[in-house]
Amino acid sequence: MTNDQYQTASVEIHQQGDGMGCNLLTGKLVRLTAFNPETDAAIVARWSRDTEYHRLGDNDPAYPRSTKMAREWLERDNDHVFGFAVRTLGDDRLIGDIGLWIENWAQAEGWVGIGLGERDYWGNGYGTDAMRLMLHFAFDELNLWRVTLGVYAYNPRAIRSYEKAGFRCEGLVRSDCRRDGQRWDSVFMGILREEWLGREP
């Protein structure tokens, strides 16, 4: 390959968004960043007072956090978790969080969880965009083989979003969660590296 051919190929790769030229933490609607505990703790604490938000992502009792508690949570160190703030591209607004837990590097598997605390951004593609970024990070940066998540059957909007990102339903635990006197299934979904690489652009 001549030098001119090499330069032309490099430009084409960069324009396609592949290789080292792309920002793997920036999507079409959001970007993934570190949290700033000083400015973000009050926002995270406010989210915890929204019991519907809590119940969509957790089966623990809904319990509000103080700003101090939220800041301590944001400042904690965990070698097994890659945690990110989800911020809008337009105005850099903090709208949620997403995390990837690696329990066993030898198995190359991660568990992902996401929550959008700002209701104005529910159902508008922001969560799907953030999840796609996390999968890009998981498979292309961390070289994982599979990513798994759990979701409650009473959250069909989240299930649709995960399917758009490439996840497939793999099984469920029946009547695993109780909300307001009703039992709900826990649904488990997963995506393999080969499925991520074979996705349509």
pLDDT of 29 > 90? The answer is yes
Mean pLDDT (whole number) for 135-154: 96
Q: Which of 28, 29, 10, 6 is nearest to 20 (CA)?
A: 10
Q: What is the pLDDT of residues 67-124, one digit of tens each?
A: 999 999 899 877 789 999 999 999 999 999 999 999 889 999 999 999 999 999 999 9
SS3 for the chain is CCHHHHHHHHHHHHHHCCHHHCCCCECCCEEEECCCHHHHHHHHHHHHCCHHHHHHHCCCCCCCCCHHHHHHHHHCCCCCEEEEEEEECCCCCEEEEEEEEEEEHHHCEEEEEEEECCHHHCCCCHHHHHHHHHHHHHHHHCCCCEEEEEEECCCHHHHHHHHHHCCEEEEEEEEEEEECCEEEEEEEEEEEHHHHHCCCC
- pLDDT surpasses 70 at 11: no
Q: What is the pTM of this model?
A: 0.85
